[in-house]
Amino acid sequence: MDTQGLSTFQRQVSDLLLRHRSVLDVSSKYQESNSRVNRAVVKAVTECGCIEIQASRQPFEPEQNLDQVKESLDTHMTGGLCDHCLDVVKAEMGKNLFYLTAMCNLLDIHLEEVIEKECKKLSTLGVFNLR
C-alpha cells in the first residue's frame, strides 16, 4: 500500500469509528484484536493442522557471523496456512490494523509517519535494531 492508500485508510477508520471513540475502548479493542490474531494462528495449528509448530532452543554461537546466525535460526513452523486459515488470519490482522489506526487517530498521529520513522530506523540501525 502506498502512502496515499495509508492516508485513505486512516480517513476511513476515522469516519467509521462510531461506537468506540474513547481511548480506553480503542485500547482494549486493539488488545483484543491482537489476541484474536494469535488465536487464529493457534487454531490453524490445533484445529486445522495446516501448520505445525515444533519449538526448541534457537542455536546461537557467539563466533558465528550475522549471515550464519540468520541461516541457523528456525521459524519452528512447518506447512503453510490453508485457504480458510489464511482468510481468517488476514481478517483478524485487518481488524488489528483498524484499531491501531483508530488509536493513531485519537492521538493525532499519522500512521504513515509511524511507518516511515520505523523504516528509517531499520535502515539506519540495521541489525543493531534487534530488540
Question: Considering the domain boundaries, does residue 128 fall inside one?
Answer: no
Q: Is residue 126 part of a domain?
A: no
Angle at 10 between CA 4 and CA 13, to 5 degrees: 140
What per-residue confidence (pLDDT) applies to 61? 76
- For residue 26, which of 110, 103, 97 has the smallest C-alpha distance? 103
In a domain, 4, yes or no: no
Longest dimension (CA), the chain: 55
- Tally of domains within the chain: 1
How confident is the model at residue 11, as a pLDDT? 92
pLDDT digits (tens, 9 = 90+) for 73-110: 888 999 999 999 999 999 999 999 999 999 999 999 99
117 within domain boundaries = no
Is there a domain that residue 129 lies in? no
Is the residue at 28 inside a domain?
yes
What's the domain range around 45?
A: 13-107
- pLDDT for res 12: 93
116 occurs within a structural domain: no
- Is 100 domain-assigned? yes
- What is the spatial distance between Cα 6 and Cα 112, in angstroms, rounded to a whole number? 6
Q: pLDDT per position in the chain (131 positions), as tens? A: 566 789 999 999 998 887 667 999 999 999 999 999 999 999 999 999 999 999 888 877 777 777 777 777 888 999 999 999 999 999 999 999 999 999 999 999 999 999 999 999 888 877 665 55
